[in-house]
Structure 1
Amino acid sequence: MSLVSGPGRGGSTGGTQELYVQKHVDYIKSLNTRRDELEYWLTEHLRLNGVYWGLTALHLLGHPEALPRDKTIEFVLSCQSEDGGFGAAPGHDAHMLYTVSAVQILVTLDAVDELEKDGRGGKEKVASWIANLQDHSTGTFKGDSWGETDTRFLYGAFNALSLLRLLHLIDTEKAVGYIQSCANFDGGYGVRPGAESHAGQIFTCVGALAIAGRLDLVDTDRLGGWLSERQLENGGLNGRPEKKEDVCYSWWVMSALAMIGRLHWIDGEKLAGFILRCQDPEHGGIADRPDDMVDVFHTVFGLTGLSLLKYPGLKEVDPIYCMPKEATDRALGR
């Protein structure tokens, strides 16, 4: 099963405010039918992430049935390694990013119990694999056994373990301390201490703090100001100063603003217009900017951005987990 990019071009739809729901559903459903294309095989390293992106998009569009539930679960389980983690595709080494996607998919489909079958060791085995990647001297996390660290992996551990209700397996206080060490004078956060602020890393750090119940550590007004300055004249958002706008930052920027209660600090109408102009009105899908090629990555983050803006007809997204809120509410007992 694959849900990783496919041909299609974002259309210059002018001032349209229409969301092409059925076109997007059809586009996502078609992504697993292109196995005769080179791009399909070149993106094997994104296969499990692609399923998560497509599934999340379909749930937000109100069409969860568009992907067969049983086959989706079967594919996810086929990506699990003997050590408990998940790889990008069957036979790939386990990595934090793919393991988080696997957990998110299973939680969205209310299928975490599938981990108990066929001697898989249950959710505890997955959680143990994640917990063992924490560096107890710094609190941060490796992405895999090879040792690279990144705040994305720290957030991923918090995300998956909290959804599995096994967050107590790690030293959250030490991890929170590491996040604090990544804070910058502008209120943002970098990939590691001393690195420049970037909207994607800000999402991971603020998201982890939200899961840990430590948003009190965020300089909300300073960070909110920096994030609101990411909006350009055309309505789109960039990830850091002097960069081009990109639909995916509709999520990274706005989710962080939502978590700190500053979502109203950007012009939502202009942003919605920008996202809608990035649609392909003929074949479906959303691109990074108007007239570029669409892909499932930008499709889901365009839709999550519109969901945060409460665009009509879309299901509510959870700004902390980047999942349908109804799924996270169920998993967390809220």
Structure 2
Amino acid sequence: MTRRMVMVSVIVVWIGALAAVVRLGPPRLRASGPPLTAAALDTSKTLDYLAGWARRDRWDAFPESPSFAFYNLYTTRALGGSVSPELRAQVIEYLRRCQAPDGGFTAAPGTGPSHVVPTLYATRTLGLLGALDAIDRPRAVAFLTSLAGKDGGFRGRAAEADVSLGATYHALAALEILGALDRVDPRRTATFLSSHRAAEGGFALRPGMIASPAATFMAVRSLKLVGALDPETAAGVARHLSGSRYSGKVRDGKFTSLPEIEEEAQVLGALAEVGRLDIVDRAEVERFVASLYVAENGGFGPQPGLGTTPPSTFHAIACLVALGRLPAPAGG
């Protein structure tokens, strides 16, 4: 993967030796709920996969981007692993170099303009490490608030003319981590977010489009952040997602594309926000997640039949966290 590929993947949409990850004991999936279909998931092998990724020191040395730093460390923590002092220091220094003079963060140190996506992933990673004071927090807040539009939405970067649902979610989530949500106009932002509600009850990336898992999760989370997630909206989201293939209740045979683990994580995330994880068929959802596990290296693929990637491994573990199979990492 080239640095350019990493930059593109980050903008659209978030050291050493074997001691880079030290296990705190055998990682175990919690036994609550029905058993996973692939009960033999070897999560210790997944930790080895993460450790090997963190040791990359070639032209694509770890961390390749703020998002990849977060994927690795969150997944490691969720699986019961611990980040070594050396790796922690390496990641913090990398993220400090990603902070631009305007306070935002770039996809890689000194590369391109600041954007809300790497800014969110940088702050999430630093929050996970308990190291938010390693950056200039006031400047980061100033960057994010400067992107607010008059209608309550946010732009992705300074040079953009239009606000968007995706940029608004990333800005709000980063402001929450930085303790600066009081800088947002909740009424205007709620009105902007609500304009993306689709007829079927979910949310769309643009007003008038069909609902999608990504848009629904981002809208629901954003509404909750500004204190505007009302019962009617929550109920509509639950009804919409209960009819989704990712609820585990809609069988294959009527789809022309393969399911994606990222969309599964987005659906579970949205249902968690509205408090309706009870509507999913957990056995079917867990069977899907387990089917993407690749025994050869312990990672997870993005779709059935594909090889492992760092983002898809993160999304698979995030699904198991949402389902209560694994603990949510503190600060994550």
Counterpart-to-counterpart distance in 2, 1:304 and 1:17: 18
**Residue 293 of structure 2: aligned partner:** 279
2:157 corresponds to which residue?
144
Q: Which residue of 1 aligns with 2:129?
A: 109
| Separation in structure 2 between the aligned mates of residue 299 and residue 15 of structure 1, nearest angstrom | 18
What whole-Å deviation, never above 9, does each CA across 1:25-80 have from its counterpart, x for those lacking one?
1212222445557xx49x99x62211111111111111132571111111111111
Alpha-carbon separation, structure 2, partners of 1:153 and 1:95: 9
The residue number in structure 1 matching 2:214 is 200
* 2:260 aligned with 1:246: yes
AA at the equivalent of 1:155: Y
For residues 118-137 of structure 1, the aligned pairs below 5 Å read 122-136=136-150
> Which of the numbers 57, 76, 79 marks the counterpart of 2:95?
76
Aligned pairs (5 A) from 1:36-51: 36=58, 40=60, 47-51=65-69
1:29 aligns to 2:43 (yes or no): no
Q: Secondary structure at the match of 1:215?
A: coil
Alpha-carbon contact 1:280-1:286 (below 8 Å) kept: yes
| Structure 1: stretches of 5+ with no match in the other structure | 6-13, 116-121, 317-323, 329-334
1:234 to 1:164, Cα distance in 2 relative to 1, 3 A: closer
Where do 1:1-334 residues align within 5 Å?
Answer: 15-34=37-56, 36=58, 40=60, 47-65=65-83, 68-92=87-111, 93-115=113-135, 122-136=136-150, 138-147=151-160, 148-216=162-230, 218-231=232-245, 243-311=257-325, 314-316=326-328, 324=329, 326-327=330-331
Q: Which runs of 5+ in 2 are unaligned?
A: 10-35
State the SS of the aligned residue for 1:64: strand
Kept after mapping to 2: 8 A contact 1:203/1:253: yes
| Deviation at residue 207 of structure 1 after TM alignment | 0.3
Separation in 2, partners of 1:153, 1:218: 25
The answer to whether the 8 A contact 1:237-1:249 is kept is no
Distance 1:257 1:72 in 2: 32
Encode CA deviations 1:154-195: one digit per residue, 9 max, x unaligned.
111111111111112222221111011111111111112212
8 Å contact kept, 1:235–1:273:
no
Per the alignment, do residues 52 and 170 of structure 1 end up closer, same or farther by CA in structure 2, a change over 3 Å counting? same
Tell me, in whole angstroms, the C-alpha distance in 2 between the residues paired with 1:173 and 1:220.
Answer: 18
1:327 alignment partner AA: G
Aligned CA RMSD, in angstroms, stands at 2.8
Q: 1:27 to 1:235 in 2, by over 3 A?
A: farther
Aligned residues, how many? 296
1:100 touches 1:156 (CA, 8 Å); kept in 2?
Answer: yes
Higher RCO (C-alpha 8 Å, min separation 6):
1
State how far apart, in whole Å, the 1-side matches of 2:147 and 2:40 are.
44
Shift of 1:197: 0.6
Query: C-alpha distance in 2, partners of 1:157/1:217?
Result: 24
Contact 1:237–1:247 (Cα < 8 Å) also in 2: no
Structure 1 residue 146: deviation in Å?
2.3
Cα deviation for residue 265 of structure 1 reads 0.8
Cα pair 1:53 1:296 within 8 Å, conserved: yes
Distance 2:251 2:312 in 1: 13
Percent of aligned positions that are identical: 25
1:242: Cα distance to partner? 5.7
SS of equivalent residue, structure 2 residue 240: helix
